[in-house]
Amino acid sequence: MPMDKKSGAWSGRFSEPVDELVKRYTASIPFDYRLAEFDIKGSLAHARMLRHVGVLAEEDFAAIERGMAEILEDIRGGSFGWSLELEDVHLNIEKALTAKIGDAGKRLHTGRSRNDQIATDVRLYLRDAIDRVQSGLRACQASLLDMAEEHAGTVMPGFTHLQVAQPVTFGHHMLAYFEMLARDHARLADARKRVNRLPLGAAALAGTSYPIDREFVVRELGFDGVCENSLDAVSDRDFAIEFSAAASLIMMHLSRLSEELILWMSPRFGFIDLADRFCTGSSIMPQKKNPDVPELVRGKTGRVFGHLMGLLTLMKGQPLAYNKDNQEDKEPLFDTVDTLVDTLTIYADMLKGVRVKPEAMRKAASEGFSTATDLADYLVKKGLPFRDAHEVVARAVRAAEGKGCDLADLSLVELQAFSPLVDEGVFAVLTLEGSLAARNHIGATAPEQVRAAVARARAVIK
Ligand code: ARG
């Protein structure tokens, strides 16, 4: 960002110039310049309201509107000269406006303070960010649904304690992540309601003596209503913390999926392959193809969690109302949004490039005695109490393990040695497909249920 030297923004209150290092230390322009478009939007709404209530003359408003349009063009074109001397985005834009249109520019700040101005800018920024994050979530959910539909009948081992537990379908596994992201989406929708409130009118902290019309500004900026208390409006950043918590949960979910993709891509599992464009090689080991993107998602989750802790800590010691501490909310918030939006965009595409290897999944599922529970359930249905059935199957598993085979590979005679209740119907129960098909109720893994769940989910994200 180009930085100009310009004279300081505030008046003759001071008898010596601010120390150069202090200027750098206190300035927010190196990062809050990103709020410029929202700042201008907020300023124009404020100016329109001042004209509406008769505080600002028609020609002054017209000049402000014209000046701001030029400034916006300069900013977008990259020719706007940001100045560290002018501290922050608000003073930079106001000075540029006054340079362009004279006294009308100086009238813009009537009935307003940078305190309610920045609170408004951050809320406008975050509202827009939430909308972007929500569409990123939807894109990932759509990719998960495509995978779930394609693999509604693809059997894989389901794990608990990372030990083979029971067969599930890969589609069912993907739908688990769909549900997590659905809750994340709903959480953001709820947080958005609290973000979407107007601080302007709070002025520095106590309100203003001008006959302002806050509801007018609410309508202009598309807010749902005003912040009811001026002290609260300028000081609390709980809405940003709440967003940051929701962002952390999204990253936590994606980090878990990343961990699975990494494991599954390891030759020890060999369940999937990731498209080359999401991987890198090794500079020394020619055979390597590393799952860099999921690893980085897992790694970047740490910085998003860190920002949440940073924001909470930033807020906890502040007396009412505004304190300069709040200037420190921007970098963690911006980084959270940038990280999240990039992660979701890459992830939606990366999921499309996952190549599933059904043979490897099936092989793993048939090696871990994953239908042991089905055998127990079979005996229960024939009258054996579940605890006794559990014991019978445990002995059968031990025998199969000793022989180096799966339960389904034991002969009828061998199985009958563990319980006389066993008949030839047992083999249907011991197959992976039989196990899947038996779990046929809402929320379970039977292929029929997975297909129905995909259909319901498609309607949700439409
Ligand atoms: N740059 C400031 C911030 O980010 C804007 C508000 C400054 N207000 C003040 N009274 N110094 O919070």
One domain, residues 34 and 94 = yes
Name the β-bridge partners of 280: 290
What's the confidence (pLDDT) of residue 281? 84
Amino acid present at 416: Q
Cα gap 128→333, rounded to integer Å: 13
Query: Residue 282 catalytic?
Result: yes
Q: pLDDT for 228-279, tens place per residue?
A: 999 999 999 999 999 999 999 999 999 999 999 999 999 999 999 999 999 9
What's the confidence (pLDDT) of residue 7? 52
One domain, residues 77 and 125 = no
Cα gap 340→321, rounded to integer Å: 30
Q: Is residue 169 lining ligand 1, measured as CB closer than 6 Å?
A: no
Number of domains in the chain: 3
CATH number, domain of 451, equals 1.10.40.30
One domain, residues 278 and 296 = yes
DSSP states along 18-31: PPHHHHHHH--HHH
| Residue at 3 is within a domain | no
Q: Is residue 118 lining ligand 1, measured as CB closer than 6 Å?
A: yes
Atom of ligand 1 nearest to the CA of 90: 5
Name the β-bridge partners of 169: 155
Q: Tell me the residue length of the chain.
A: 462
Name the β-bridge partners of 168: 156
One domain, residues 22 and 133 = no
Report whether 71 contacts 100 (CB < 8 A). Answer: yes
Burial class (CB in 10 A: 0-12, 13-18, 19+), 12: exposed
| CA neighbor of 43 nearest in space, from 102, 99, 116 | 116
Q: Is residue 92 lining ligand 1, measured as CB closer than 6 Å?
A: no
Within 13 Å and on the Cβ side, how many CA atoms surround 86? 17
The last residue of a domain, from among 110, 128, 154: 110
pTM: 0.94
User: Which residue reads 């990372």 in tokens?
Assistant: 162
Q: pLDDT for 169-219, tens place per residue?
A: 999 999 999 999 999 999 999 999 999 999 999 999 999 999 999 999 999
Which entry of 7, 161, 411, 441 is annotated as an active-site residue?
161
What's the confidence (pLDDT) of residue 338? 98
| Residue at 423 is within a domain | yes
Cα gap 149→281, rounded to integer Å: 32
Burial class (CB in 10 A: 0-12, 13-18, 19+), 323: middle
Taking the centre of ligand 1 as the mean of its atom positions, its distance from the CA of residue 113, in whole angstroms, is 9
Among 67-81, 238-252, 275-289, 377-391, the range scoring the smallest mean pLDDT is: 275-289
Q: pLDDT for 140-157, tens place per residue?
A: 999 999 999 999 999 999
Atom 3, ligand 1: residue with shortest CA distance: 327
What's the confidence (pLDDT) of residue 15? 86
| Residue at 249 is within a domain | yes
Cα gap 275→261, rounded to integer Å: 12
One domain, residues 349 and 398 = no
Q: Is residue 235 lining ligand 1, measured as CB closer than 6 Å?
A: no
Taking the centre of ligand 1 as the mean of its atom positions, its distance from the CA of residue 209, in whole angstroms, is 21
Taking the centre of ligand 1 as the mean of its atom positions, its distance from the CA of residue 117, in whole angstroms, is 9
Taking the centre of ligand 1 as the mean of its atom positions, its distance from the CA of residue 99, in whole angstroms, is 22
Q: Is residue 114 lining ligand 1, measured as CB closer than 6 Å?
A: yes
Query: Residue 370 catalytic?
Result: no
Map residue 371 onto helix, strand or coil. coil
One domain, residues 278 and 420 = no
| Pairing verdict, β 82-83 and 3-4 | parallel
One domain, residues 438 and 337 = no
One domain, residues 278 and 408 = no
CATH number, domain of 339, equals 1.20.200.10
DSSP states along 51-104: HHTTSS-HHHHHHHHHHHHHHHHHHHHT---EEGGG-SHHHHHHHHHHHHHTHH
Task: Please give the average per-residue pLDDT across 309-324, as a whole number.
Answer: 98
Amino acid present at 14: F
Within 13 Å and on the Cβ side, how many CA atoms surround 269? 22
Query: What is the residue-averaged pLDDT of the chain?
Result: 96
User: Which residue reads 């025998």 in tokens?
Assistant: 399
The last residue of a domain, from among 357, 376, 391: 357
One domain, residues 98 and 32 = yes
The boundaries of the domain holding residue 404 are: 363-461
One domain, residues 259 and 295 = yes
One domain, residues 214 and 277 = yes
Q: Is residue 326 lining ligand 1, measured as CB closer than 6 Å?
A: yes
Atom 12, ligand 1: residue with shortest CA distance: 327
Taking the centre of ligand 1 as the mean of its atom positions, its distance from the CA of residue 134, in whole angstroms, is 29
What's the confidence (pLDDT) of residue 11? 62
| Residue at 426 is within a domain | yes
| Residue at 223 is within a domain | yes
CATH number, domain of 55, equals 1.10.275.10
| Residue at 18 is within a domain | yes
Taking the centre of ligand 1 as the mean of its atom positions, its distance from the CA of residue 88, in whole angstroms, is 8
| Residue at 160 is within a domain | no
Report whether 97 contacts 62 (CB < 8 A). Answer: no
Atom of ligand 1 nearest to the CA of 326: 12
What's the confidence (pLDDT) of residue 296? 98
What's the confidence (pLDDT) of residue 83? 97
Using pLDDT thresholds of 50, 70 and 90, give the confidence band for residue 227: very high
One domain, residues 254 and 321 = yes
Report whether 436 contacts 173 (CB < 8 A). Answer: no
Q: Is residue 28 lining ligand 1, measured as CB closer than 6 Å?
A: yes
Amino acid present at 381: K
Q: Hey, which of 327, 330, 331, 333 would you mutate to test ligand 1's pocket, going by the most ligand atoms within 8 Å of its Cβ?
A: 327
List C-alpha distances in Å: 367 to 122, 211, 248, 345, 459: 55, 77, 37, 37, 37
| Residue at 152 is within a domain | no
Report whether 343 contacts 297 (CB < 8 A). Answer: yes
The last residue of a domain, from among 339, 357, 375: 357
